[in-house]
Structure 1
Amino acid sequence: MITGLLGVAGVLVLIEAIYMYVCHETFAFGKGNMMAWVHQHLVDHLEWDGEGTLLDIGCGAAALTVRCAKAFPNSQITAMDYWGVEWNYAKEQCEKNARLERVENRITFQKGDAAKLEFEDGTFDAAVSNFVFHEVRTAKDKRKVVKEALRVVKKGGVFSFQDMFSQKALYGDMEEFVRELKAEGISDIHYIGNLEKKLDFIPGFVTMPWMISGMGIIYGRK
């Protein structure tokens, strides 16, 4: 009996390991490239001429930062992240990646907390963020992280944020939140929820609750 249970447990562990490996390869740049398509979806919803300054909130290893630098060659970009030992990337890695892509002269990297950005109100012409807000541990209310990101965008500036916006446990009623942001002065804002069910490049097997279930985007003009 015990041997049989151990055998079943071993098979389940193996299945999980295979599943996680396949998901990793699907997301990975230069392999399945799904995250590259996710980044492009975000950039496609940033209605900006690229003249001025852009903030990438939670830049990670700078993949989205570099994509923005190439998409908007006249822009100056500030990219920030909390980084830390629990992540497999750091500021030095970001700087190296920017040099490799020959965009280092237009990007500044700095450490920071997305819940309390060290910038004045209305500093940037544009802001982006991808799958970051729900990870911000210094803010229990993730809506406040969104508002903090919008705070540093200039009036008339643009934004495009992707996160688990359709997960009610994180953001509540998003339609209500959008109305709230409009009432607080955001002139043009759009929300598209459950993107994992709408984007052709996202395979069904990565849409489990522990992966990217509830993906959404909010974008517009302040």
Structure 2
Amino acid sequence: MSTDGSPAPAGARYRTWVRLHRLRALAGATVVSLAGCVLAFVSPWFLFFLVPLGIFGYITLILALTVYRLGPRGGDFQRRIHLLIAGSVSLENGGRALDVGCGSGSLAVKVAQAHPGASVTGVDSWGHDWEYSKDQCDRNARAEGVAGRVSFEQQSGSALSFADGSFDAVVSCMTFHEIKENADRFDGVVEALRVLRPGGAFVFLDLFGDPAFYPNPAGIRTVETPRPLAEVMDLPFPLRHPKVLGHAMLLTGTKPA
């Protein structure tokens, strides 16, 4: 889908945040467990497969429904979240914006569309565990008609190559907790703010409410007080689940001069 709710241009293809190869593996494990339970007619020992069937089946259900909800047929919540971020960032015409962890280029494209005079750079490591690529980002930008103002580079969010204060705005969506190079996931926020000019705006969405990734919430509040995504947007099941977007929080503000 495009930013106005119409079908996405031919050639534009945005994947969801769910790794489909993991979903397929879990679905396979569910089928195997179910087959084991059927064999209980041969021997009651096969009833032990009920435990993995319950575990794998539940996780598969949550992930499958998440893919559905994030996609166009289930409410298009991934697009809606990107639109929320793009519309929340303050960026004057002619400004420069950075998207940290651009994935398939969706958010970077939407920032460019929301701010017609701006140029946008998207960076991502595009690791082997993800189904994104720089070529995919470039194709999507061309299909959406913003290739002249949007560019993509392979970089890690843990060590951006840009000089201090290079950008007028910085955005990021569900990226910082994925940066494995950082022992402290908040370091990704610090690095993103480093390349933001004083007075520049930032909008970050991440699992800031999850103590598994951010055990010290006081550190986050030294920047701004984050808002739960569920308070900003009505999230249906299973997006409110703690393992999906239940801990997602929106961090917005302006870098002090």
Give the TM interval when normalised to the shorter protein: 0.7 to 0.9
Give, in angstroms, the shift of residue 171 of structure 1: 2.3
Superposed counterparts of 1:192-203, under 5 Å: 192-196=226-230, 198-203=231-236
8 Å CA contact 1:193–1:214 kept in 2: the answer is no
User: How much identity, in percent, do the aligned residues show?
Assistant: 29
Q: Secondary structure at the match of 2:212?
A: helix
- 2:255 corresponds to 1:215: no
Structure 2 counterpart of 1:185: none
Structure-2 separation of matches of 1:77 and 1:117: 15
Q: How many residues align?
A: 212
Q: Which structure has the larger Rg?
A: 2
Structure-2 separation of matches of 1:35 and 1:41: 10
Q: Secondary structure at the match of 2:107?
A: helix
Which stretch shows the higher mean deviation, 170-179 or 54-63? 170-179
Q: Secondary structure at the match of 1:205?
A: coil
Q: 1:155 to 1:102 in 2, by over 3 A?
A: same
Structure-2 separation of matches of 1:16 and 1:215: 19
Give, in angstroms, the shift of residue 194 of structure 1: 2.8
Give, in angstroms, the shift of residue 166 of structure 1: 1.2
* 1:55 partner letter: L
Structure 1 counterpart of 2:225: 191
Q: Secondary structure at the match of 1:162?
A: strand
**Which structure has greater strand proportion?**
1
Give, in angstroms, the shift of residue 11 of structure 1: 5.6
TM-score, reference length from structure 1: 0.87
Q: 1:205 to 1:144 in 2, by over 3 A?
A: same
Structure 1 counterpart of 2:142: 99
Structure-1 separation of matches of 2:187 and 2:219: 14
Which stretch shows the higher mean deviation, 45-54 or 11-20? 11-20
Q: Secondary structure at the match of 1:49?
A: coil
- Counterpart pick for 2:170 among 124, 127, 132: 127
Which stretch shows the higher mean deviation, 169-178 or 144-153? 169-178
Structure 2 counterpart of 1:47: 90
Superposed counterparts of 1:58-73, under 5 Å: 58-73=101-116
Which stretch shows the higher mean deviation, 212-221 or 42-51? 42-51
8 Å CA contact 2:109–2:144 kept in 1: the answer is yes
Q: 1:132 to 1:29 in 2, by over 3 A?
A: farther
Structure-1 separation of matches of 2:54 and 2:218: 43
Q: 1:176 to 1:7 in 2, by over 3 A?
A: closer
8 Å CA contact 1:57–1:79 kept in 2: the answer is yes
What is the aligned-residue RMSD (CA, Å)?
Answer: 1.9
8 Å CA contact 1:37–1:201 kept in 2: the answer is no
8 Å CA contact 2:100–2:171 kept in 1: the answer is yes
Which stretches in structure 2 are left out of the alignment for 5+ residues?
Answer: 1-43
Give, in angstroms, the shift of residue 146 of structure 1: 0.5
Q: Secondary structure at the match of 1:110?
A: strand
* 2:99 partner letter: D
Which fold has the larger relative contact order, with Cα–Cα distance below 8 Å and residues 6 or more apart in sequence?
Answer: 1
TM-score, reference length from structure 2: 0.76
* 1:195 partner letter: L
Q: Secondary structure at the match of 1:169?
A: coil
Q: Secondary structure at the match of 1:25?
A: helix
Structure 2 counterpart of 1:79: 122
8 Å CA contact 1:47–1:220 kept in 2: the answer is no
Structure 2 counterpart of 1:187: none
Give, in angstroms, the shift of residue 29 of structure 1: 4.2
Structure-2 separation of matches of 1:51 and 1:172: 38
Which stretch shows the higher mean deviation, 61-70 or 19-28? 19-28
- Counterpart pick for 1:57 among 96, 100, 113: 100
Q: Hey, which bits of structure 1, 4+ residues long, moved more than 6 A?
A: none
8 Å CA contact 1:165–1:193 kept in 2: the answer is no
Structure-2 separation of matches of 1:149 and 1:203: 30
